[in-house]
Amino acid sequence: PLVLGIESSCDETGVGIVRGNTLLTNAVSSSMEEHVRFGGVIPEIASRAHLDAFVPTLRQALEEAGVTLDDVDAIAVTSGPGLAGALMVGVCAAKALAVATGKPLYAINHLVAHVGVGVLDGGELPENLGALLVSGGHTEILRVGSLTSDVELLGSTIDDAAGEAYDKVARILGLGYPGGPAIDKLAREGNPKAIRFPRGLTQPKYMGSAEAPGPHRYDWSFSGLKTAVARCVEQYEAAGQEPPVADIAASFQEAVVDVITSKAVLACTEHGITNLLLGGGVAANSRLRELTAERCAAAGISLRVPPIRLCTDNGAMVAALGAQVVMAGGQPSGVEFTPDPSQPVTSIHLPAA
Ligand code: ATP
Ligand code: MG
Ligand code: FE
């Protein structure tokens, strides 16, 4: 089926078009620049930006794909999780399009779409799949029994998401916003072993056993790490010294990436999962890509990492999961549903009201 996907959960306005598992186009407009001076995404500004960007982005997508709205078989839209006001713009636009064209509308989970996008690069996802989702708002390890009907949350962060930790640490180091790319770049000039920052929830007392897994066995915590970085910088400043920012960035990044990959591989191994998909905006991180590949290879897990443009928020991922739902015979969502800012990852697409 030809599916048009709409994304507006945060600061990217995305319209993507797929035919089955084939990507036709992926138009994205970001309001990131407007948030830079505030050091974080301002919801009201993001919503207004979606309103401005939606029609031009839709036109661009249709033009690039060489199709018209008439050709489209179904419309898919992110219904959550995300910023309430931002979601409302995309959902409202999608409902209007569905009413005007009479096409069926599917309300899609943004997080599962970060996984579903994998079909656009390498085709059908393997069975026995795990997904490591690392983004600005989430850090989760999932068992994906079926992309359209069976997603289980194995572990997640109990406080900050990994991307959030990057953004906060970048602020502490004076690197600006967004922090991920800046730290990634600076870390290349630093020594990742210079400072041993804490790896949250990896002490035996948190880990339970494989037979009786504790609540934290596959969970992460990044707020202690952020505090440790702040203390470290304070100590240098108190001593009247310049903090070695490159070494701190590299050591922080090593701590994040070490604990993310070790727990993801542990969860896969203990669940007999032999295929892993890495997704979400932080999957753009060079060291995360490298260490995940290394540790998966060592554990006999085959890894799939979509190209960066498909890892960061976009409409093609929504279209891709929408097409999977359509092909699996899933029911359209109608036009009565409301966006759910905290839609759980187990709710893959919303049924009709
Ligand atoms: P969610 O998907 O949880 O709703 P989101 O959609 O806001 O959150 P994404 O757009 O998927 O998140 O990812 C954005 C995050 O990725 C930001 O926190 C940013 O700092 C981080 N990021 C981007 N590039 C890199 C990089 N090279 N290294 C580390 N982090 C990065
Ligand atoms: Mg974003
Ligand atoms: Fe996202």
Chain centroid to CA 349: 17
Nearest-CA residue for atom 9 of ligand 1 = 281
**Could you give the CA distance from residue 69 to residue 58 in angstroms, rounded to a whole number?**
10
- pLDDT at position 40 is 86
Quick one: which of 308, 291, 344, 306 has its CA closest to 81?
Answer: 344
Residue position matching structure tokens 């997080």: 111
Count CB-CB contacts under 10 A for residue 135: 24
CA of 264 to the centre of ligand 1 (A): 18
- pLDDT at position 6 is 98
Radius of gyration of the chain from its Cα atoms, rounded to whole angstroms: 20
Q: Using CA of residue 112, residue 113, residue 118, residue 124, what is the dihedral sign?
A: positive
pLDDT, block means (10 residues), the chain with 353 residues: 98 97 97 89 95 98 98 98 98 98 98 97 94 94 96 95 94 91 96 96 84 86 96 96 97 97 96 96 94 98 96 97 97 97 96 79
Contacts of 40 (CB under 8 A, 6+ apart): 167, 177
Nearest-CA residue for atom 25 of ligand 1 = 180
| 160, 225 contact by CB (below 8 A) | no
Quick one: which of 160, 310, 296 has its CA closest to 230?
Answer: 160
> Which of 30, 220, 282 to mutate to test ligand 1, by most ligand atoms within 8 A of the CB atom?
282
Q: Angle 152-341-76 (CA atoms, 0-180°, nearest 5)?
A: 75
What phi and psi, each to the nearest 5 degrees, are found at residue 296? Answer: -65, -45
Nearest-CA residue for atom 1 of ligand 1 = 137
Q: Is 137 in the pocket of ligand 1 (CB under 6 A)?
A: yes
**Could you give the CA distance from residue 251 to residue 290 in angstroms, rounded to a whole number?**
16
Per residue, what are the HEC states of 64-99? HHCCCHHHCCEEEEEEECCCHHHHHHHHHHHHHHHH
Count CB-CB contacts under 10 A for residue 68: 10
Count CB-CB contacts under 10 A for residue 73: 14
CA of 15 to the centre of ligand 2 (A): 14
Binding residues for Fe cation: 110, 114, 313
CA of 291 to the centre of ligand 1 (A): 18
**Could you give the CA distance from residue 288 to residue 258 in angstroms, rounded to a whole number?**
8
Binding residues: 110, 114, 133-137, 167, 180, 184, 285, 313
- pLDDT at position 292 is 98
pTM score: 0.95
| Ligand 1 atom having least distance to the Cα of 161 | 3
- pLDDT at position 215 is 82
Q: Is 80 in the pocket of ligand 1 (CB under 6 A)?
A: no
The CA-atom distances, in angstroms, between 186 and each of 39, 68, 179, 180, 294 are 19, 45, 11, 10, 22
